[in-house]
Amino acid sequence: MNIRIFFLAVSLLPCFVKAQMQQLNAAEIAQGLSGLSVKGSVLYIAAHPDDENTRLLAYLAKEANVKTAYLSLTRGDGGQNLIGNEQAELLGQIRTQELLAARKVDGARQFFTRANDFGFSKTSVETFNIWGKEQILADAVWVIRKFRPDVIITRFPEDSRAGHGHHAASAIIAREAFVAAADPKRYPEQLEKGVEAWQAKRILWNTYNFGGNNTTASDQLRIDVGGYNPFLGRNYGEIAAISRTNHKSQGFGSALQRGEAFEYFSHTAGEPAKSSLFDGVNIYVANAAITKLLADIQANYQLKQPAASLPALLKLKKIAAHEKDFNHQLLEELIMACAGLWVEAIVPESSYAVGDSIPVSINTIYRANFAQLKIVAQIGNQSLPMKDNKLSTAKYAIKAGQADITQPYYLKKEHPIGYYIIDKQEEVGYPENPNGLTAKVKFELNGETFSMSLPIFYKSTDPIKGEQYQPLVIAPKVTATLSDQAYLFINNQPRTIEVSLKSFTKNVAGEVVPVLPAGWKASPAKIAFNFSQKGDGQVAIFNILPDGNSASAKLSLDVNIGAEVAHKGLRTIRYDHIPNINLFPTATARLEVADLKIGGKRIAYLDGAGDLVANALQQVGYEVSHLNTSQILLNDLSAYDAIVTGVRFFNVNEEAKAIYQKLMDYVKNGGVLLEQYNVNNGLKSMNFGPYPFNLVNKRVTEEEAKVTFMKPEHAVLNYPNKITEKDFANWVQERGLYFAENIDPKYQTVLSMNDTGEAPNEGSLLIADYGKGKFVYTSLAFFRQLPAGVPGAYRLFANLLAKSL
pLDDT digits (tens, 9 = 90+) for 216-241: 999 999 999 999 999 999 999 999 99
Identify the weakest region by mean pLDDT among 6-10, 264-268, 742-746. 6-10
Q: Is there a contact between 367 and 326 (Cβ–Cβ < 8 Å)? A: no
Residue 707: predicted pLDDT: 98
Q: Give residue 443's pLDDT band: very low, low, confident or very high (50, 70, 90).
A: confident
Q: Give residue 379's pLDDT band: very low, low, confident or very high (50, 70, 90).
A: low
Question: Residue 495, exposed/middle/buried by CB under 10 A (0-12, 13-18, 19+)?
Answer: middle
| Whether the predicted pLDDT of 437 surpasses 70 | yes
| Whether the predicted pLDDT of 615 surpasses 90 | yes
DSSP state for residue 21 in the 8-state scheme: S
Residue 593: predicted pLDDT: 95
| Whether the predicted pLDDT of 16 surpasses 90 | no
Q: Give residue 373's pLDDT band: very low, low, confident or very high (50, 70, 90).
A: low
DSSP state for residue 755 in the 8-state scheme: -
Residue 364: predicted pLDDT: 87
- Which residue, 138, 135, 114, 205, is CA-closest to 167? 205
Q: Give residue 438's pLDDT band: very low, low, confident or very high (50, 70, 90).
A: confident
- Helix, strand and coil content of the chain, in percent to the nearest 5, comes to 25, 30, 45
- Which residue, 360, 615, 616, 351, is CA-closest to 479? 351
Q: Give residue 10's pLDDT band: very low, low, confident or very high (50, 70, 90).
A: very low
Tell me what the pLDDT averaged over the chain comes to. 92
Q: What is the mean pLDDT of residues 4-25?
A: 51
| Cα torsion angle, 177, 180, 186, 190, sign | positive
Listed in sequence order, the DSSP H helices in 148-185 are 165-180
3-state secondary structure 26-64: HHHHHHHHHHCCECCEEEEEECCCCCCCHHHHHHHHHCC
Residue 150: predicted pLDDT: 97
Q: What is the mean pLDDT of residues 540-545?
A: 97
Question: Residue 1, exposed/middle/buried by CB under 10 A (0-12, 13-18, 19+)?
Answer: middle
Question: Residue 619, exposed/middle/buried by CB under 10 A (0-12, 13-18, 19+)?
Answer: buried
Q: Is 92 helix (H, G, I), strand (E, B) or coil?
A: helix
| Whether the predicted pLDDT of 5 surpasses 60 | no
| Whether the predicted pLDDT of 15 surpasses 50 | no
CA–CA separation, 70 vs 91, rounded Å?
A: 19
Q: Give residue 53's pLDDT band: very low, low, confident or very high (50, 70, 90).
A: very high
pLDDT digits (tens, 9 = 90+) for 187-217: 999 999 999 999 999 999 999 998 788 999 9
Q: Is there a contact between 208 and 216 (Cβ–Cβ < 8 Å)? A: yes
- Cα–Cα separations (whole angstroms), residue 407 to 14, 423, 434, 540: 15, 15, 12, 25
CA–CA separation, 163 vs 123, rounded Å?
A: 9
CA–CA separation, 40 vs 276, rounded Å?
A: 13
- Which residue, 485, 370, 251, 318, is CA-closest to 2? 370
pLDDT digits (tens, 9 = 90+) for 89-142: 999 999 999 999 999 999 999 999 999 999 999 999 999 999 999 999 999 999
Q: Give residue 442's pLDDT band: very low, low, confident or very high (50, 70, 90).
A: confident
Prediction pTM value: 0.92
| Whether the predicted pLDDT of 499 surpasses 50 | yes
pLDDT digits (tens, 9 = 90+) for 476-496: 999 999 999 999 999 999 999
Residue 452: predicted pLDDT: 78
Listed in sequence order, the DSSP H helices in 339-462 are none
3-state secondary structure 362-374: EEEECCCCCCCCE
Residue 178: predicted pLDDT: 98
pLDDT digits (tens, 9 = 90+) for 407-427: 999 999 999 999 999 999 999
- The number of helix segments (H) and strand segments (E) in the chain equals 16, 46
DSSP state for residue 726 in the 8-state scheme: G
pLDDT digits (tens, 9 = 90+) for 143-202: 999 999 999 999 999 999 999 999 999 999 999 999 999 999 999 999 999 999 999 999
Q: What is the mean pLDDT of residues 4-15?
A: 42
DSSP state for residue 250 in the 8-state scheme: G
Q: Is there a contact between 296 and 312 (Cβ–Cβ < 8 Å)? A: yes
- Which residue, 632, 792, 781, 594, is CA-closest to 702? 781
More confident residue, 322 or 45: 45
Residue 550: predicted pLDDT: 85
- Cα–Cα separations (whole angstroms), residue 178 to 109, 415, 425, 534: 19, 28, 19, 52
pLDDT digits (tens, 9 = 90+) for 685-742: 999 999 999 999 999 999 999 999 999 999 999 999 999 999 999 999 999 999 999 9
